[in-house]
Amino acid sequence: MKRKLTLKQIARELDVSISTVSKALRDSHEISEDTRQKIKAFAKLYNYKPNNIALSLKNRKSKTIGVIIPEIVHHFFTTVISGIEQVANEQGYHVIICMSNNSFDKEVINMELLANGSIDGFIISVAKETQQKKDYHHLTEVINQGMPLVMFDRVIEEINCDKVIIDDVIGAKKAVQRLIDLGCKNIAIISTVDYISVGKLRTQGYIQALNENNIAIDENLILKVEDFEKSEEEIKVFLADKDIDGLFAVNEHFAIYAIKAFTERGLKIPEDVSVIGFTNGELSKLSNPGLTTVSQHGAEMGAQAASLLIKKLESTQDHDDAFQTIIIETGLVERNSTKC
């Protein structure tokens, strides 16, 4: 198998020194026009490309950002990645992605893999399991090594670093307020167990909205889904006997399962029940009826996260440890699952 062309080979071939080749290719004025042209022509002909690994080793940086996401299924993460790539590429950085699949172990392994030289900094949304376990040693370790880290979406408060989040509370509140404005009297919520930060916060928003409108909280109308895998069944059972006219779900899946459950009971959306989900993804767009959702502006989040990270990477001040938390505004995309 042919090895890649190196400076050394070019040097030998053209009977000059390695330094000369390197300099010629970087257009150094130290090298005569003649030699420069000759070397450049040769390099181009044989398609010379510098070895990134060697460069990384030499420069002690890779100009690469590592992104760790828990699951790729959510369209939301795709938009975040797009945002990250946009900004990163503009600034001459590359992006590589690893999936943790919501597994703590995988998150740790992937971070260790990348942290040992491959990348200059992390952008991460932590795995469910990590939030649950509350074991953050891999995160603190990376930070202690002096590698910048930016968290987005699923962040961990205890960790001191830059963060980009949406205001889950306000986002949820907006959604529930909309349901109230539409005249809904009995509004239920389908959320997640509390160790998932976003679930917890969105539930808070739900409660605040009700409180501010002097509507009593009915614990029976709050479902905290335990197991994502079995959520469809859980939701069906939960909704089976509920007499509600409004529903707020903390993600797309739950909202769609709910619509399914309602439809099967013969209820009409939005005539009988208005439903609002969270995360404006593919599913919401394609669902039937189209799902009204809180939109998270993923691209914006990704862009901000990348900006923060790169700023840290390029700052020469070693102890610029003023960490920021950027809050991205949410929107409300109205479709046909809410009456107008």
Partner DNA sequence: TTTCAACACGAAAACGTTGTAGTAGTAGTA
Partner DNA sequence: TACTACTACTACAACGTTTTCGTGTTGAAA
Q: Quick one: 57 or 193, whose CB is closer to DNA?
A: 57
Residue number with CB closer to DNA (4 or 268): 4
> Which residue among 35, 91, 101, 186 contacts DNA (CB under 7 A)?
35
Which residues, 6+ apart, have CB-to-CB distance to 195 below 8 Å?
131, 132
Partner that binds at residue 112, options a copy of itself, DNA, none, CB closer than 5 to 8 Å by kind = a copy of itself
Contact between residue 67 and residue 98 where contact means Cβ atoms under 8 Å apart? yes
> Considering only CA atoms, which of 252, 253, 254, 246 is closest in space to residue 271?
246
Is residue 113 part of the contact set for DNA (CB under 7 A)?
no
Q: Which of 41, 44, 46, 51 lies at the binding interface for DNA (CB under 7 A)? A: 51
Contacts of 318 (CB under 8 A, 6+ apart): none
What lies within 8 Å, CB to CB, of 317 at 6+ separation is: none
Residues in touch with a copy of itself (CB under 8 A): 1-4, 47, 49-54, 56-57, 60, 62, 64, 71-73, 75, 77-78, 81-82, 85, 94-99, 101, 110, 112-113, 115-118, 141, 144-146, 253, 256-257, 259-260, 263, 282-283, 286-288, 318
Q: How far apart are CA 33 and CA 50, in angstroms?
A: 21
- Contact residue for DNA among 7, 80, 81, 256 (CB under 7 A): 7
Nearest residue (CB) to a copy of itself, 41 versus 54? 54
- Residue (40 or 285) nearer to DNA, CB: 40
User: Concatenated DSSP letters for 219-275?
Assistant: GGGEEEE--GGGHHHHHHHHHHT---SEEEESSHHHHHHHHHHHHHTT--TTTT-EE
Options 28-36, 250-258, 312-320, 332-340: segment touching DNA (CB under 7 A):
28-36
**What is the spatial distance between Cα 199 and Cα 224, in angstroms, rounded to a whole number?**
8
